[in-house]
Amino acid sequence: MSKQHLPVLAKHATPFYLYDLGLLRTTLDQAKTEAQQYGYHVHYALKANANAPILAEILERGFGADCVSGNEVKRALEAGFTPENIVFAGVGKSDAEINLALQSGIFCFNCESVQELEVIQELAAAQGKTAQVALRINPNVDAYTHKYITTGLEENKFGINTWELENLLPNFSHWPNIKLIGLHFHIGSQITDLRAFENLCGRVNELQDWFEARGYTFPHLNVGGGLGVNYQQPEEHPIADFKEYFGIFNRLLTKRPGQQVHFELGRALVAQCGSLISKVLYLKHGQKTNFVILDAGMTELMRPALYQAYHKIENLTSNLPAKTYDVVGPICESSDCFAKGIELPETHRGDLVAIKTAGAYGEVMASAYNLRDRVQAVYVD
- Does 31 help bind ligand LLP (rule: CB under 6 A)? no
Query: Residue 40 is inside which H or E element, if any?
Result: none
Residue 263 or residue 325: which is nearer to ligand LLP going by CB? Answer: 263
Query: Which listed residue (190, 208, 278, 357) binds ligand LLP by CB under 6 A?
Result: 190
Residue 125 Ramachandran class (φ > 0 left, ψ -120 to 50 alpha, else beta): alpha
Query: Which listed residue (5, 32, 267, 312) binds ligand LLP by CB under 6 A?
Result: 267
Query: Which listed residue (17, 81, 175, 361) binds ligand LLP by CB under 6 A?
Result: 361
The CA distance from 134 to 342, in Å, is 46
- Tell the smallest beta-carbon distance from residue 186 to ligand LLP (Å): 4
Residue 121 or residue 151: which is nearer to ligand LLP going by CB? Answer: 151
Q: Are strands 274-285 and 16-20 parallel, antiparallel or unpaired?
A: antiparallel
Which residues neighbour 226 within 8 Å (Cβ) at sequence distance 6 or greater? 143, 145, 186, 187, 188, 189, 190, 191, 196, 197
- Amino acid residing at 106: I
- Residues 315 to 334: which contact ligand LLP by CB under 6 A? none
Query: Which listed residue (93, 203, 303, 311) binds ligand LLP by CB under 6 A?
Result: 303
Region of 174-182, 260-268, 291-299, 333-341 interacting with ligand LLP (CB under 6 A): 260-268
- Tell the smallest beta-carbon distance from residue 11 to ligand LLP (Å): 29
- Tell the smallest beta-carbon distance from residue 155 to ligand LLP (Å): 16
**For residue 201, how far is the Cα from the chain centroid?**
20
Q: Which long-range contacts (CB under 8 A, 24 or more apart) does 53-61 make?
A: 53/19, 53/21, 53/379, 54/19, 54/24, 54/270, 54/273, 54/359, 55/79, 55/80, 55/81, 56/80, 57/21, 57/24, 57/25, 57/28, 58/28, 58/269, 61/28, 61/29, 61/32
Q: x/- site string to ligand LLP, residues 48 to 77, per CB under 6 A?
A: x-----------------x-----------
- Residues 76 to 95: which contact ligand LLP by CB under 6 A? 89
Residue 68 or residue 352: which is nearer to ligand LLP going by CB? Answer: 68
- Tell the smallest beta-carbon distance from residue 321 to ligand LLP (Å): 33
Region of 234-242, 264-272, 276-284, 339-347 interacting with ligand LLP (CB under 6 A): 264-272
The CA distance from 356 to 192, in Å, is 18
Which residues lie near ligand LLP (CB under 6 A)? 45, 47-48, 66, 89, 149, 151, 186, 189-190, 224-227, 264-268, 303, 307, 361
